Structure 1
Amino acid sequence: MSSALRELVVALAEVKQAAARTNRALGLLEEEVADAISAACAEIVGGSWHDHFVVDCVQGGAGTSTNMNANEVVANRALELLGHPRGAYSVVHPLDSVNKSQSTNDVYPTALRLAAHRAVGRLIEALRHLQGAFTGKATEFTDVVTIGRTQLQDAVPVSLGHVFAAYAVTLGEDCDRLTEESSAAQRRPWHRGFVGPAGIGGTARAEQRDAGRDGGGSADHAGGLHLRSFRESKKGLPSSEPQGGGSEEGVLSPEVLEEGSPRGWGSPRGAPCSSLLQRR
């Protein structure tokens, strides 16, 4: 199971655990049953029983089959903790007990947002580490000169250090954007309930009644991730044009520039790069 799917399984278990505790507090579940459900969910959060989640988390049906898979795993493990065999649903039922007071329309969007929030946190940490590496290379490559690029075409020579510094800047911008979006997502309603949804740690308010159906939070996250992927893909584009491309192996030394730059620092666009090709 991939790390992304493990995050979703853990988030589903946390939703079920929270629901069981709430139902117990409201007198809707017997204390013994609620505690067994909560304990089973805690084991799943800890990494156990993940191999019993056989339904692909990425599937059609709006998550109903995945939610039911979670209900059955939790119910059967709770039965074992209570000393009953699996399938003794008269004691703990997947729907009437584990899924009590819930709908897939509540459970799945909430679990997805929890999983995405944690995954984005790890992504930001990794991007910050990568940003630091690019910043270090920018200093290391200060005196290395390479062909600049404009619209996938050869341009004037530039410092390779400046190129890596630009990469570092874009990574920093992406980290800041993802951090802001992640923070904003925590203030939005995280489920689609019809009875006054509330954000995690927030308070339900009348004006939030329809906010749970708004996909703005998910759209922000998706937009930020798409932009990050697009920017990352552009780092490979310089190799698509033959004269300054290839594998970017040929960088210009100061000696080459002094003897006769293929395009020169101020020469017009479109000038031949024959001298560069000859010196490789």
Structure 2
Amino acid sequence: MPDRQSLTGAPCWIDLTSSDPAQVIPFYTDLFGWTADTDEDPEYGGYTIFGKNGSPIAGLGPQQPGNPYGNIWTNYISSEDAQATAAKAADAGGRVMMPPMVVGDQGSMAILADPAGAVIGVWQADQHSGFGLVDEPGAPVWHETLSRNYAAVLPFYADVFGWSYESMGDSTEFRYSQAKIGDRMVAGIMDADAFLPEGVPSFWQFYLGVDDADAAVARVTELGGSVQREPEDSPFGRLASVADPLGASFQIMGMRS
């Protein structure tokens, strides 16, 4: 399957910070048919790798003491040099929330905020290169940011990650750009300022493929999760927004032909 993580500047990983990993691991393994492999090495803090068909899909880490942010997914973008990427982000109007750090022999990571405040991770691969599967059921199929400062984040991501853009719409009703590395679409940026509820900041989200969005939504509730937006048709598939039993939200995309 496509090796998206090999494309520098493209989304390459997702992981979940959870207040109770033991509670949500069965939710994800049942819903997507994932396996869960937890590393008992103290260096990695009980980090779990979700996999499918023998390939890594996503990560899960326990919420650490003193960290107020739990039950939230983070998207990561591939970088050849996390230090240089963090420096570019600061120069381009972003903020370095967590400076680059080495994660054993797996790679290096940093956490940034773009000029609109949306949080995005950076991953410089060593032994862990990121997704092993994409664009199929049970794997990531799309990543996008819903932004309160669309005009500011377009040049930010272009400067920091080398993105160019193809507009899908530029009206007050729908303003959306697809980001490209070369000729490959890698992510989306939506002008969401007009419709995000008051107090909801800019954020990144991702979509996981499923065979049948309606069946997946029904299974989410059976497994103790919740539905934030019921399935609806789109030009790209049938989409829904759901959350795990502890409230971590993510999107699903039906890929049934």
Greater fraction of residues in strand: 2
Greater relative contact order (Cα < 8 A, sep 6+): 2
TM over 0.5: no
When normalised by structure 2's length, the TM-score is: 0.22
Bigger Rg, structure 1 or 2: 1
When normalised by structure 1's length, the TM-score is: 0.21
